[in-house]
Amino acid sequence: MATHLGWSPGPAAWKDDLSPIAATDWNGDRAAHLLTHAGFGGTPAEIQRLADAGLDRAVRSLVHYESIPNPKMQPFVESGLWDPSLSGFPESRPEATDRAVKHGASMGVESKPAGKVQKEAHTTPPSARFEPSSIDFGDQVTKKPSKYQRITVTNTGEAKLYINSVNITGDDRQSFTLVGDTCTGSTIESKKSCVVDVCFTPARTEGHKAVIQFTDSAADSPQSVSVSGKGINSAAVRP
């Protein structure tokens, strides 16, 4: 039984050599070579089956293919039309490939850099930009909420940005509140934005610091925007 361990084009001496081969020379590589130059090619299983058939049966199966039972094949119906533009087409698929390599075009399609080569689409991953990168509320009377400050998150990548969560962390996190959030759970298209509004209500008369943390699908997640402010007595406020 012939064994085929992988297709190879065969020795260079095979090229343009039409002399008969002996049955003992028949193997998997020659079966693959025959299928390719017959204009069909074949899967590894088809090549192996042809190699196992032996030289004579393999050739007969390609030459006298009409005798092979194939109930799925519909009867051939000749159209009666002849298109003169087809006369210059390659006689086989290998010839079409050879023409493309040699001339840069085959069957009306250019294959070199200037031709119709389909380039693989490349999409840049999502990336989040935060404006501003930090917020200072300045002086604020204790126990009294400030006006909100807004953080805008923009997707500067091409792929969609998914924002999983927005949280306040840090020792003074209880003095800061998210009063508006269109980001959490949102999918942000390229060049689009969402916003988070933060309010500061100092608990005591001293400096406060915290971090607004964003968890999302960008590579540098989680990202942080620092927030700060100072609590003061109402007596310190000018009338």
Does any domain span residue 79? no
Q: Domain of 205: which CATH number?
A: 2.60.40.10
Predicted model pTM: 0.49
**Cα–Cα distance measured from residue 63 to residue 180, given in angstroms and rounded to the nearest whole number:** 77
What is the count of structural domains for the chain?
2
Does any domain span residue 118? no
Same domain for 54 and 157, yes or no, is no
Same domain for 105 and 133, yes or no, is no
Same domain for 147 and 44, yes or no, is no
> How is residue 238 written in tokens?
């000018």
Same domain for 103 and 161, yes or no, is no
pLDDT at residue 16 greater than cutoff 90: no
Q: Is the CB of residue 127 less than 8 Å from the CB of residue 138?
A: no
Does any domain span residue 83? no
> How is residue 26 written in tokens?
């028949």
Does any domain span residue 229? yes
Which range of residues forms the domain containing residue 98?
Answer: 1-71+92-109
Same domain for 61 and 5, yes or no, is yes
Does any domain span residue 80? no
pLDDT at residue 191 greater than cutoff 80: yes
Same domain for 33 and 96, yes or no, is yes
Does any domain span residue 116? no
Residues 80-137: pLDDT tens digits? 665 555 556 666 667 767 777 777 766 666 665 554 545 555 788 999 999 999 999 9
Q: Is the CB of residue 146 less than 8 Å from the CB of residue 229?
A: yes
Dihedral sign from CA coordinates of 155, 159, 165, 169? negative
Same domain for 141 and 219, yes or no, is yes
Residues 26-46: pLDDT tens digits? 888 888 888 777 766 778 888
List Cα–Cα distances, 113 to 25, 30, 119, 190, 232, in angstroms.
41, 34, 10, 30, 69
pLDDT at 38: 72
Higher-pLDDT residue of 16 and 200 is 200
**Cα–Cα distance measured from residue 112 to residue 102, given in angstroms and rounded to the nearest whole number:** 10
